[in-house]
Amino acid sequence: MTFFWYDWAGYIGVVLVLSSFLLLQARKLHGTGLVYQLMNVFGALGVVLSLVFGVAINWPALLMELAWIIIGVYGIMHSARVRREARELGSKFTS
């Protein structure tokens, strides 16, 4: 069996997504944390690459992974905004 780069991207992506979920359940990561979100986004991106460049496109899986990426990017942006607002609010109290 020959593995191409997109196969490896898919396997690594699956490991990232499953590892992030395991670490979340083990309370080693926070669901709103940057590491958790990045593991999910890059994991989903790896799976997308394997789906797009593989032999045949599995459309339901591709749509799910694209949604996973969009939700992950939204989570990163939302968490960054919340942290920025908390920092600004904290600086108002210390000034």
pLDDT digits 0-9 by tens, 2-60 = 899 999 999 999 999 999 999 999 999 999 999 999 999 999 999 999 999 998 899 99
Q: Rounded distance, CA 91 to CA 84, Å?
A: 11
**Count of other CB atoms within 10 angstroms of residue 95:** 5
pLDDT value of residue 56 = 87
76, two tokens? 């990163």
94 has pLDDT over 90: no
How many domains would you assign to the chain?
A: 1
The angle that helices 34-53 and 5-25 make with each other, rounded to 10 degrees, is: 150
Write out the E strands in the chain. none
Owner of token pair 């593991």:
39
pLDDT value of residue 95 = 60
Q: Is the pTM of this model over 0.85?
A: yes
Question: Which residue range is the domain that position 68 belongs to?
Answer: 5-94
